[in-house]
Amino acid sequence: MTHAPLAQAGALWPDLEVRMREMAAGDVKWREGKTGMYVFNAGEDVERVKKAAYAMFSEENGLGPMAFPSLANMEREVISHALALLHAPDSADGAMTSGGTDSIVMAVKAARDYGRAQGMKGQGNIVAPYTAHPAFDKAAMIMDLEVRRVPVKALLADAAAMEAACDANTIVLVGSAPCFPYGLIDPIEALSDVAVRKNLWLHIDACVGGFIAPFAEMIGASLPAWDFRVAGVRSISSDLHKYGYCSKGASTLLFRDKALKAHMVFDAGPWPMGRMLTPTLAGTRPGGAIAAAWAVLNHLGVEGYKAKQKLVIDAREAIEAGVTKLGFRVLGRPQLGIVSFAHDSADCFAILRGMYKRGWVTAANSEPPSLHLMLSPKHAEVAHVYLADLEASMRETADGAPMPAPGYAR
């Protein structure tokens, strides 16, 4: 491949803007609600706030709290809001990270270091349901840990089977609220019973659910207990850039107690500049992501979030009703923003390709073969468009040969 050299002379921004818009012409039309992944579209009002806040602090660096006490204060407030939403005790603490994978990796690191401090020897292991996010595998790869994925029962974590998989070197037990493939909340209270009985660290991956579940409850959803109200829960990961509708590069990792959070921190050195203490793997942390998170949380407030999350739930219920009429069956009983649905005779992967031809970028599960949607407030406006395109794609694929699944669905 011939590499493209950097231009000798720079270009003016108006010319670059034109080129960038041309490059983006083939991107998914997410502002029209055409994606069920990657983007969480809460509307133009939220988009304006977070872009302005991000730009205002785009050069500031979260690595330097003494240089930028504004960012340190904003991060503390964001964490405090998150802890309050998830019913954390007064002893709780946390930190912002760059995303869900970052939060999960740091939770595993904290659990591992806690285990070592308690006298654990040898290779540690993570016990997780089969539906847990692959970020736990990434954490294990980085830290040379074993991952023990346990088959699920009715698509939910099987607490008894997970208990049987634990041993003296289990550093963390995992539950999801909800799991990404099906949008279902694992039986966290049953996992908590195991964790308390065996004195295990229970981490809840609420990267998807952490900023929608509390407001869903406020507007009437009856959810199983999953947050810090459950005694055995020691840490929770909860993404701001998903259902918090903040700019990307923003998540939270929350701990029941400050003493548990201490195991998250890196204390590196010595080197010529002494010690380097950082709460996350990253050194430099974009000030814009912290500022945008603070701004969006304060812009929406409880009432704003309740209104946005009601639109998500309305969209999910409309789509559940519509796909059921088309012969699909919803997997499990989703209660938040993710829904997956299978069909006993139609080729879901062929339908997915048909939807892509109609401009939709969504996802699929391979076990079982099923279509997957992660919904945003915008989808309440376009659910009928999705359902019409889905019906058209079904008719189209019924007339032709089955199409192979896209690579990412395998």
Of 296, 329, 358, the last residue of a domain is 296
Taking alpha carbons only, the member of 216, 206, 141 closest to residue 180 is 206
Q: Quick check: 313 and 218 in contact, CB under 8 A?
A: no
Position 409 in a domain: no
Which string of b and e fits 303-325 if b means at least 16 CB within 10 Å?
Answer: ebbeebbbbbbebbebbbebbee
Domain count, the chain: 2
Q: Are residues 310 and 253 in the same domain?
A: no
Report residue 223 as tokens: 């959810």
pLDDT of the residue at 400: 55
Between CA 315 and CA 331 the distance in angstroms is 17
Position 371 in a domain: yes
Q: Are residues 75 and 100 in the same domain?
A: yes
Between CA 1 and CA 47 the distance in angstroms is 39
Beta strands 363-366; 338-343: pairing state: unpaired
Between CA 150 and CA 129 the distance in angstroms is 5
Between CA 271 and CA 303 the distance in angstroms is 49
Position 42 in a domain: no
Provide the residue-wise pLDDT of the chain in tens; the chain has 410 residues. 899 999 999 999 999 999 999 999 999 999 999 999 999 999 999 999 999 999 999 999 999 999 999 999 999 999 999 999 999 999 999 999 999 999 999 999 999 999 999 999 999 999 999 999 999 999 999 999 999 999 999 999 999 999 999 999 999 999 999 999 999 999 999 999 999 999 999 999 999 999 999 999 999 999 999 999 999 999 999 999 999 999 999 999 999 999 999 999 999 988 999 999 898 889 999 999 999 999 999 999 999 999 999 999 999 999 999 999 999 999 999 999 999 999 999 999 999 999 999 999 999 999 999 999 999 999 999 999 999 999 999 999 876 544 444 433 32
**Lateral strand order in the sheet of 125-129:** 93-97, 251-255, 233-239, 202-205, 170-176, 125-129, 146-150
Of 254, 273, 296, the last residue of a domain is 296
Q: Quick check: 86 and 214 in contact, CB under 8 A?
A: yes
pLDDT of the residue at 191: 98
SS percent in the chain: helix, strand, coil, step 5: 45, 20, 40
Of 237, 264, 296, the last residue of a domain is 296
Beta bridge partners of 255: 93, 235
pLDDT of the residue at 398: 75
Q: Are residues 212 and 234 in the same domain?
A: yes
Report residue 283 as tokens: 């050194």
Here the CATH number for the domain that contains residue 106 is 3.40.640.10
Q: Quick check: 349 and 356 in contact, CB under 8 A?
A: no
pLDDT of the residue at 8: 95
Q: Is 192 exposed, middle or buried (0-12, 13-18, 19+ CB in 10 A)?
A: buried
Position 25 in a domain: no
pLDDT of the residue at 57: 97
